[in-house]
């Protein structure tokens, strides 16, 4: 068993270390529902998850997974782009998870895009509670290309260091564009 887990596992480890029962959290890219189910399992009876996707098929897959685990009553599924997050939420959120790229098993041309991803990260930074975390797993290369990754990497370097700590974790000796993990912690309002 490897000690150094992949980016997705690391994102789960970090998010689970801060999310508590009763928290409000967001899955910005529902996809097949794995992160939504993970978040719904952390927030207890009183918490809630808002889960966004632009594809109805992704939300259907997510709903199915939630029902199988009897977690569907805690989750609001929203068929809209994550760049519109603030149209739905105004309270402080403890964690926002992004998994960039396309829906596994779906249409590879319908992936996340740099401009809307950055808009959504900015909106999430405003909504984030102090010591809340935004996790972003960046898939790139292959059908996803490099544009979104490059735009997001450029953007995160511009984030105000007096209010946010930004971490980038990548695997430097692996082949085939291993996903990169970015975490953003709000340190001050
Ligand atoms: C890599 S998948 C997410 C995987 C997911 N987290 C899971 O556990 O299965 C990326 C998803 O982002 C969605 N997406 C693309 N652009 C979006 C946007 N602007 N707002 C919300 N979701 C978007 C795609 O439809 C796709 O389902």
Residue 68's domain comprises: 7-186
What is the distance in A from the centroid of ligand 1 to the CA of 162? 30
Does residue 1 lie in a domain region?
no
* CATH number for position 64: 3.40.50.150
DSSP letter for 179, please.
Answer: P
Phi, psi of 86 (to 5 degrees): -75, -10
User: Average per-residue pLDDT in the chain?
Assistant: 97
Mutual orientation of helices 147-156 and 114-127 as an angle, nearest 10°? 30
Contact 65, 32 (CB under 8 A): yes
Ligand 1 atom 16 nearest Cα: 112
Number of structural domains (the chain) is 1
Contact 72, 49 (CB under 8 A): no
What is the distance in A from the centroid of ligand 1 to the CA of 76? 15
In this model, does residue 163 exceed pLDDT 90?
Answer: yes
Residue among 53, 98, 119 whose CB has most ligand 1 atoms within 8 A, to mutate: 53
What is the distance in A from the centroid of ligand 1 to the CA of 81? 9
pTM score of the predicted model: 0.98
Does residue 176 lie in a domain region?
yes
Residue 178's Cβ-count burial label (10 Å; 0-12, 13-18, 19+) is: middle
> Given pLDDT bands bounded at 50, 70 and 90, which one contains residue 116?
very high
pLDDT tens digits, 139-162: 999 999 999 999 999 999 999 999
Shortest CA distance to 49 belongs to which of 70, 29, 23? 23
């Amino acid at each position: 068993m490897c000690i150094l887990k992949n980016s997705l596992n690391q994102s789960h480890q970090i998010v689970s270390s801060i999310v508590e029962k009763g928290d409000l959290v967001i899955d910005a890219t529902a996809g097949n529902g794995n992160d939504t189910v993970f978040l719904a399992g952390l927030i207890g009876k009183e918490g809630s998850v808002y889960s966004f996707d632009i594809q109805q098929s992704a939300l259907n897959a997510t709903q199915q997974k939630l029902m199988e685990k009897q977690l569907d009553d805690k989750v609001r599924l929203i068929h809209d782009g994550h760049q519109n997050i603030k149209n739905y939420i105004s309270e402080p959120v403890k964690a926002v998870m992004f998994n960039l790229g396309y829906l596994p098993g779906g249409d590879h041309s319908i992936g996340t895009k740099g401009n809307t991803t950055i808009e959504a990260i900015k909106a999430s930074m405003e909504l984030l509670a102090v010591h809340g975390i935004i996790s972003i797993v960046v898939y790139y290369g292959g059908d996803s290309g490099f544009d979104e990754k490059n735009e997001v990497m450029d953007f995160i370097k511009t984030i105000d260091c007096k209010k946010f700590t930004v971490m980038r974790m990548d695997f430097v000796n692996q082949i085939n564009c291993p996903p990169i993990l970015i975490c953003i912690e709000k340190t001050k309002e």
